[in-house]
A = this chain, B = another copy of it.
Amino acid sequence: MTRGWEFDSSQPIYLQIASEISKRISSGVYKPGDRLPSVREFALEAGVNPNTMARALASLEQRGLIVTERATGKFVSTQRSVLMELKQELIADTISQCVQALEQIGLTQEEIVSAVRAYVERSAS
């Protein structure tokens, strides 16, 4: 049994939590309109202090990804534009990280594109 989610020390934990939940929303684990687990539940699952979890959720709420209905809980936003924005951002982050790593290995931009194309074509067969 793991004690909680995995964190590293490169970033505040609450941001890592927000990132994790963002991914879940984007990938449909939590769908638009879904009620999220309570802060306490979430904190237990992640193995962090409820205050930390609350801070993470607040940052998501500020971005418009989740909305709070007083006394009933927090829900994933149903606004398409915000969710699309999130998705685009996650895509950009993922690709950015990948491209950066490949450039560090020594690939040019053209080589990166063709390497990715080769990869997906190979895995498609």
Copies of this protein in the complex: 4
Which of B62, B104, B107, B117 is the one whose CB lies under 8 Å from A23? B104
Instruction: Say whether, besides A95-B119, A113-B117, A105 and B23 are in contact (CB < 8 Å).
Output: yes
Whether, in the assembled complex, A101 has its beta carbon less than 8 Å from a beta carbon of chain B, the answer is: yes
Contact with B along A59-78 (1 / 0, CB 8 A): 00010000000000000000
Complex Cα distance, B98 from A94, in Å, reads 6
**A82 adjacent to chain B (CB < 8 Å):** no
Q: Which residues of A contact B (CB under 8 A)?
A: 6, 8-10, 23, 26-28, 62, 87, 90-92, 94-99, 101-102, 104-107, 109, 112-113, 115-117, 119-120, 123-124
